[in-house]
Structure 1
Amino acid sequence: MGGFFKPRTDGVDLFVRLTPRSSADTVEGIATSADGSSHLKARVRAVPEDGAANAALEKLIATWLGRPKRDVTVTAGATSRLKTLRISGDAGEIAAAIVARTDPGASA
């Protein structure tokens, strides 16, 4: 597992493919693109206008990881479906939370 997030000194970069205008706000798991890159799949009900979908994604990921919303920011791909989110904080703790939420075999 891996490739869909990258630890940094000040947190973690998480790579996400966002689908707006969905029926629910949810994280669906890990997917691999045709180019071989991995990303987390997420859906939000918000529309992709005036940053609403990005704000909904930040809130969704913060809740999903049990982090304050202020710790999650879209840093790349604001107008694209493929986004990079910066999750600020202890990189080891955040990475462990991501693995626990995405790997059914991981011990939480």
Structure 2
Amino acid sequence: MSDAGEFVRDVADGCTVSVRVHPGARRDGVMGLHGGAVKIALNAPPVDGRANDALIAFVAEKLGSPRARVSLVAGAASRSKVLRITGKSAAEVRAALLPEVDC
């Protein structure tokens, strides 16, 4: 598996995604890879779960999936998080989050 693919893994009925969040950024966006995770900048502050909600909304939008298919499974109070995406393969998620990387 390439370095670019290690942040996302297939699981039953979907995949998991390792994310490194940068809350309080100027704008939302995928910043690339950071230590085996995809780095995502979010405008939302890390207060009262607002960055977690913004992360779920951002990833769902990038994937063209309903928010209900994206859930936070680890790292609620950390910058390092794990998301579970149902109904999408690791390859689909990789292509949507890092389209410029040839996986």
TM-score bracket, normalised by the shorter chain, equals: 0.7 to 0.9
Matches of 1:42 and 1:10, distance apart in 2 = 24
Q: Deviations over 1:39-90 (max 9, x none)?
A: 0000111111111000000000111111111111111000000000010114
1:98 and 2:93 aligned: yes
The answer as to whether partners of 1:17 and 1:83 remain within 8 angstroms in 2 is yes
Residue of 47, 50, 62 corresponding to 1:49? 47
The secondary structure found in structure 2 opposite 1:64 is helix
Q: Deviations over 1:18-55 (max 9, x none)?
A: 011110011112222xxxxx000001111111110000
Larger Rg, first or second structure (1 or 2): 1
The answer as to whether partners of 1:99 and 1:106 remain within 8 angstroms in 2 is no
Matches of 1:24 and 1:18, distance apart in 2 = 12
- Please report how far the alpha carbon of residue 103 of structure 1 lies from its aligned counterpart in structure 2 after TM superposition: 4.8
Unaligned 5+ runs, structure 2: none
Aligned residues: 99
Matches of 2:46 and 2:8, distance apart in 1 = 23
Matches of 1:61 and 1:104, distance apart in 2 = 17
Residue of 74, 77, 83 corresponding to 1:85? 83
Root-mean-square deviation (CA, aligned residues, Å) is 1.7
The 5-angstrom pairing of residues 1-108 of structure 1 reads 1=2, 2-32=5-35, 38-91=36-89, 95-101=90-96, 102-104=98-100, 106=102
Matches of 2:101 and 2:71, distance apart in 1 = 28
Overall identity of the aligned pairs, in %: 37
Unaligned 5+ runs, structure 1: 33-37
TM norm structure 2: 0.86
Q: 1:90 to 1:64 in 2, by over 3 A?
A: closer
TM norm structure 1: 0.82
